[in-house]
Structure 1
Amino acid sequence: MSYVVQNWRTDMEIFNEKIVRMIRLYLSGVISEEERQELERWIQESERNRRFFEEMKEEGRFAEEFPEFCRIDMEKGWRRFEQQILPNRWSLWKQVLRYAAVIAVPVAIGLSVWLLNQGEKKGSPVVSEAIEPGQVKAMLVLPGGTTLALKDMKQKEIEVGEGLKATQTSAGLVYDTGIDEKEEKLQYSMLKIPRGGEFHLTLSDGTNIILNSATNLKYPVRFGREERRVYLEGEAYFEVKKDSTRPFCVEIEGMQVQVYGTSFNVNARKGEDVQTILVEGEVGIKLPNSMKEYMLSPGKLAHFDRGTGKVQIKSVNVQQYVAWTKGIFTFEEESLEQIMNTLSLWYDVDVFYQTESVKQLHFSGHLGRYKEIQDILGAITEATGVKFTIKERIIIVTK
């Protein structure tokens, strides 16, 4: 099957459905290696193909602005789009985008973003105040118990322990390097990232950590000679500095992640199961009272069920789980309830459902993490018909 694409700079083109699907997967960051190679071969076949691919990246604005897209309730979403946006547009656009929507909704929305920007955003939620996205902020608890609000601090150098200092930057905190030779007297600090916050931390060994909202991390101001151990509750992305003489370990309630110099993401929010996703390197999952270690290779996810104490390992597209570190929300067939839980932490809002059934609607899409929440909710409304009302910092969801 083929479909027609037309935008405001190029003439009408006809492209194969499979190519469109692979471009969509590429732009979404979920393309497989085999599909990526096939797409690259197609791009290299002709200048026309290469030009089209480049224009899709630029004009679709996926890479720059990550416009909202989804594929839930496709026909209903299209009817709403048709009724609200297209009546005053060219009939050719209506035919092209309707056909493209059936094939690849994200591509259609990427191509139609110009038209959307020209029309009134009738799907936007009713709001009483603008709600901004999260920002860099944290509370630092020093070894002596003193608490500092890092967001509001103007000084660049902070005394974090006896004779120890760290430097505050625009993104986070960088500790001075060094080893504590007296391991029995390790000094611990704790970073508390509130709802609506994120933070970058560089530990004394050079390990880089990005902490998501509603996350706590306890760590030594300086590590000892034998090991490097930190304690996590929440979500964090680690890039561990290699050191064969001092293993790195992330302690989580009910389990631990043994690290062998690597990049990985851990989601260990209180009361939820733990997910460990390996980007590169090698990690092992250890459980209390067990000698067994579950080894992960890149591209693997370990799911720890806190209730049963069991670990399951599967292959995943890691970008789906680490996209938040690059400013993107990535949802793949997630329920509206799961999505709203994620948004509530990042935007520091509460959610109230007037219609319980909407919790089970499923949604897939990539959404810009630094957009105002009204933009994201508007995209969901356009696709599903679910309505949102924002009163102060409470989102009311109705059908």
Structure 2
Amino acid sequence: MKEEAFELSALISGYLLCTLTPQEEERLKLLLAADEERYRILEAYRAAEPTAARLSNMDSVDVDQAWHKVNNRFQTPQVVQRKNRYGWLKYAAILIAVIGVFLFYFNLNKADPGIVADITKTYQNDVLPGTQTAKLILSDGTQITLDKEKQIIGDEKGTTIVSNQGEISYGQSATNALAATKFNTLIVPKAGTYKVTLPDGSKVMLNAMSELEFPVSFADNERLVSLKGEAYFEVAKDAARPFKVKLNGSEVEVLGTHFNVSAYNQTAKTTLLEGSVKVRNGESSSILVPGKQALSDQQNIVVAKGDLDKAVAWCKGDFYFSNDALEPVLTEISRWYDLKLIYKTKIPEIHITGHVSRKAKLSEVLDMLKDVSNRSFGIEGRNLIIN
């Protein structure tokens, strides 16, 4: 994006100064055709007073001194400076720079409103935290974008669906054999979170990069959903229909309880807050009581004491780290701020303890990380640089 913005600025400057070659004119046409907003930028410059007059107004600025600084950076001592010949290049360079900076920030903000200026001037830019956003895929393949605005999606096989304030609700209804065979999928992207009230009244909150598949109406013998990513469940009690969550290689079965499941990879972490759950993987099973946590995959189930505050911190709007290795900490942060992690050095063997609000801008989270990790970081767009 940055390179194209400054290429476009150079071509617009050449156009205004009538110095473009035929090949450069074709390239300018191509870039303008890609976005009509670029035409408006060009027209804004053309509609202003003549270019020559605008450039002559630059004489009020000490252009020679600025140009001398540029020459000192890029010329060797053996090059003899020519003061008058090609003097117009000074103005062209300034025009390119002015247009280039404008285009870069124009394109940056237009393409990604989550990228904002860093008021501390520490980083190239800052990044806003995630928000309530998701995509719902109906049984017929229709895709609906969800946010905070109220939407009445209508009937899905006899079930009314309403989305409002970051939560989608399925109207409770009697068991519908046809609806029980039709599945909806709620997909929460990076930098997102969303809640869903299922047809039985159970409530689920999905974290960023998570996906929940569920029937429009539950069957009369069980309530089965599939999860990828992380979710917090508050399951409605129904002794006749156990609630089951299919994970990567394992399954959680409950009757009525509160628990958190993190299944971003092949190992699922189930933490129980209330009630009881059975975790099984086909080979074996384990019963959890409140305060316990199970790590399960296709071969093993390991039960240990769980950190309840840490497990549900994300639901309460916090990052909570307790002697966590740096890499998974950064991975969790990257999911919430939609970042690409770029390591400039080998990942250090350090562990992080601390907490910070997920409502904070990225720069504030990095301030905490710098204090506890003794590392430095950089932000370039949505790239997080780890030095």
Is 1:331 the equivalent of 2:321?
Answer: yes
Give the superposition deviation at 1:183.
5.8
Query: So what's the TM-score if we normalise by structure 1?
Result: 0.65
Partner SS for 1:254: coil
Give the superposition deviation at 1:185.
5.3
CA distance in 1, matches of 2:366, 2:188: 24
Is 1:250 the equivalent of 2:242?
Answer: no
**Cα offsets for 1:91-122 (capped at 9, x unmatched):** xxxxxxxxxxxxxxxxxxxxxxxxxxxxxxxx
Identity %: 32
Partner SS for 1:181: coil
Give the superposition deviation at 1:297.
0.2
Q: Which one scores higher on RCO, CA 8 angstroms, separation ≥ 6?
A: 1
Gaps of 5+ in 1: 1-123
Partner SS for 1:216: strand
- Over the residues paired in the alignment, what is the CA RMSD in angstroms? 1.9
Is 1:128 the equivalent of 2:124?
Answer: yes
Partner SS for 2:269: strand
Partner SS for 1:356: coil
Give the superposition deviation at 1:365.
0.7
After superposition, the Cα gap between the structure-2 partners of 1:140 and 1:244, relative to the gap in structure 1 and judged at 3 Å, is same
After superposition, the Cα gap between the structure-2 partners of 1:184 and 1:374, relative to the gap in structure 1 and judged at 3 Å, is closer
What is the aligned counterpart of 1:278 among 267, 272, 289? 272
What is the aligned counterpart of 1:166 among 143, 161, 166? 161
Is 1:220 the equivalent of 2:215?
Answer: yes
After superposition, the Cα gap between the structure-2 partners of 1:257 and 1:355, relative to the gap in structure 1 and judged at 3 Å, is same
What is the aligned counterpart of 1:260 among 255, 258, 265? 255
After superposition, the Cα gap between the structure-2 partners of 1:293 and 1:284, relative to the gap in structure 1 and judged at 3 Å, is same
Is 1:310 the equivalent of 2:300?
Answer: yes
What is the aligned counterpart of 2:201 among 206, 210, 213? 206
**Cα offsets for 1:309-351 (capped at 9, x unmatched):** 1111011231111111001111011111111000000100011
Q: How many residue pairs end up in the alignment?
A: 269
Query: 8 Å contact 1:125–1:388 — kept in the other structure?
Result: no
**Cα offsets for 1:277-299 (capped at 9, x unmatched):** 000000001112x3x43100000
**Cα offsets for 1:242-289 (capped at 9, x unmatched):** 0011110001121110112100000011x341100000000001112x
Query: 8 Å contact 1:132–1:347 — kept in the other structure?
Result: yes
Query: 8 Å contact 2:323–2:353 — kept in the other structure?
Result: yes
CA distance in 2, matches of 1:160, 1:332: 45
Give the superposition deviation at 1:127.
2.4
| Aligned residue type for 1:131 | V
CA distance in 2, matches of 1:326, 1:277: 16
Partner SS for 1:341: helix
Give the superposition deviation at 1:355.
1.4
Q: Which residue of 1 aligns with 2:360?
A: 371
Query: 8 Å contact 1:277–1:302 — kept in the other structure?
Result: yes
Larger radius of gyration: 2
CA distance in 2, matches of 1:160, 1:215: 25
After superposition, the Cα gap between the structure-2 partners of 1:320 and 1:185, relative to the gap in structure 1 and judged at 3 Å, is closer
After superposition, the Cα gap between the structure-2 partners of 1:284 and 1:185, relative to the gap in structure 1 and judged at 3 Å, is closer
After superposition, the Cα gap between the structure-2 partners of 1:298 and 1:162, relative to the gap in structure 1 and judged at 3 Å, is same
CA distance in 2, matches of 1:287, 1:357: 33
Give the superposition deviation at 1:377.
0.3
What is the aligned counterpart of 1:299 among 286, 291, 298? 291
